[in-house]
Structure 1
Amino acid sequence: MVSPPDIAPPDNDVLWASSLHYSHSGAPGLVGVSLGVRQGEILALTGPRGSGKSTLLRCLSGQLRPSEGEIWFNSVPVHTMGDLARERLRRDRFGWIGPEPQLLPELKVWENAALPLLLSGASHRSAKHAACEWLDRLDIAGLARKRPAALTRAECQRVALARALVTVPSVIHADEPTAPLHRAEGALLLRTLTTAARSHDITVLLATDDEATAAVADRSLALVDGRLAGTAPAASPLPDTPEGQAACSLSA
């Protein structure tokens, strides 16, 4: 059987996914998830731990390849890209911040923040200038020449946000970015993220199980057991028993 051709998403959706499925060692992680996100929109993905939020973000950002379904970014099919093309997409067009800063300990703070630009071939001078601008907005410009070991956890998370913003990406995938932070530090991080998104027309996908964090978004989608809330699983067949056969007879 010949597979039908991919259908491009609506023009006003910068990121669009259809019928995504993904399994973790046989256990379902995503089950038929579909969504569309507009340019400049802040979308919160909510749900309890284990509901599929992180898996969905990693699929949408090209870190994981879904077993079924389509993902489109600006009408380009991400699901058919090779590894190198997806890596380039994550570096140049997407930003990522998770609950762990994942800074390189041997690099200075400004180098960690500038890393996506340095990897893309930007000059040392321009990359440092852009990184220091974001560090200044996050009130940590004075730490630019220090290394991560000298920073607090909250300061490291701000550096991670500067790194996500330094390329002024089209989309930022934020996976529980405030989870390790106290309320005040988390509020500062969210304020910088949302202000940058509004001023630079950046789309943000924000995974969180915190209601106050989700409240900064334009809208929310809830996940439960790998499905969008309200998406019912397929009905189980009736057992091959006299009771089951009787039920079939009554419904006929």
Structure 2
Amino acid sequence: MVAPPDNDVLWARALHYQHNDGSPALSGVSLGVREGEILAVSGPRGSGKTTLLRCLCGLLPAQRGEVWFNSTPVHTMGAPSRERLRRDRFGWIDPAPVLVPELNVWENAALPLMLRGTSRRRAKTAALEWLERLDVGAKARKRPHELLQAERQRVCIARSLAPEPTVLFADEPTAPLHRADRVHVLRTLTTAARSHGITVVLATDDPRTAAQADRTVSLLDGRRVKTVHLPPVTEAEGRAACSLSV
């Protein structure tokens, strides 16, 4: 094995992954992500973006290839070590908001900090700060079922930022949001990442979202390509996404 360059916080070489049906999700993808960089992984649906993020964070071990985090080989770690790495150093945002229904909003946002052993008071303070930044501070004592879909996603984003992870993996983080909200949330996310030195790997099929990144890596059919021309999101599609709100 050859260690990655010193200025790369994440480095992957020749990642391969096949779905259970034998279809390839990744076919020899290599990339490096510099410390503090916001990297967009772009491509149409089914291009392998989510699989790549899952392999990079150790959630899904690649079937072949190498993944390094700060010169530590993630691909040789056992499942418990990868789980600790995700808990202590990584953050994750899903395209659909998933919250613990028994906890209120601030408890959901503070949960990763409390799992790390942070006191309840300090975790609550950090969670409330991010909830305010994302315009859901007034909902801090509400339960998830009392929120709109877009509000729940904002809580999930606050939850991912509160522990100030080394690397934040964001899989279509603004997909459930109204178009008007996306710019504000993306600006909050990117500004927070830059001010706190958080490296971000952002998967998106929206060219306007990708434009917020420092650099873009394009995937097509599980392979890196020089560029992918993504179709613009129509107003009808934007309204359809917003209609998910309840």
Structure 2 length-normalised TM: 0.90
**CA separation in 2, counterparts of 1:60 and 1:184?**
31
Query: Which of these residues, 125, 130, 135, is aligned with residue 126 of structure 2?
Result: 130
Question: In structure 1, what is the equivalent of residue 14 of structure 2?
Answer: 19
Q: Which amino acid counterpart does residue 36 of structure 2 have in structure 1? A: G
1:117 partnered with 2:113: yes
**CA separation in 2, counterparts of 1:92 and 1:191?**
25
**CA separation in 2, counterparts of 1:36 and 1:16?**
4
* Cα deviation, residue 195, structure 1: 0.5
* Cα deviation, residue 149, structure 1: 0.6
Equivalent runs, 1:77-116 vs 2, <5 Å? 77-116=73-112
1:173 partnered with 2:174: no
Query: Which of these residues, 5, 13, 17, is aligned with residue 10 of structure 1?
Result: 5
**CA separation in 1, counterparts of 2:174 and 2:124?**
26
Question: In structure 1, what is the equivalent of residue 233 of structure 2?
Answer: none
Question: In structure 2, what is the equivalent of residue 198 of structure 1?
Answer: 194
Q: Deviations over 1:146-203 (max 9, x none)?
A: 1111111111111000111111011110101111221111112111110101101111
Secondary structure of 1:16's counterpart equals: strand
1:34 partnered with 2:52: no
Question: In structure 1, what is the equivalent of residue 143 of structure 2?
Answer: 147
Question: In structure 1, what is the equivalent of residue 160 of structure 2?
Answer: 164
Q: Deviations over 1:208-248 (max 9, x none)?
A: 111111000111111010000159xxxxxxxxxxxxxxxxx
Query: Which of these residues, 58, 61, 65, is aligned with residue 69 of structure 1?
Result: 65
**CA separation in 2, counterparts of 1:143 and 1:75?**
41
Secondary structure of 1:154's counterpart equals: helix
**CA separation in 1, counterparts of 2:16 and 2:122?**
41
Q: Which amino acid counterpart does residue 13 of structure 2 have in structure 1? A: S
* Cα deviation, residue 102, structure 1: 0.7
- Structure 1 unmatched ranges of 5 or more: 1-5, 232-252
Assess, with a 3 A threshold, how the Cα gap between structure 1 residues 185 and 230 changes in structure 2: closer, same or farther.
closer
Equivalent pairs, count: 226
Question: In structure 1, what is the equivalent of residue 211 of structure 2?
Answer: 215
Q: Which amino acid counterpart does residue 11 of structure 1 have in structure 2? A: D
Question: In structure 1, what is the equivalent of residue 235 of structure 2?
Answer: none
**CA separation in 1, counterparts of 2:129 and 2:106?**
10
* Cα deviation, residue 104, structure 1: 0.8
Q: Which amino acid counterpart does residue 68 of structure 1 have in structure 2? A: R
* Cα deviation, residue 75, structure 1: 0.5
Question: In structure 1, what is the equivalent of residue 48 of structure 2?
Answer: 52
Secondary structure of 1:204's counterpart equals: strand
Q: Which amino acid counterpart does residue 159 of structure 1 have in structure 2? A: V
Q: Higher Cα Rg: structure 1 or 2?
A: 1
**CA separation in 2, counterparts of 1:128 and 1:83?**
30
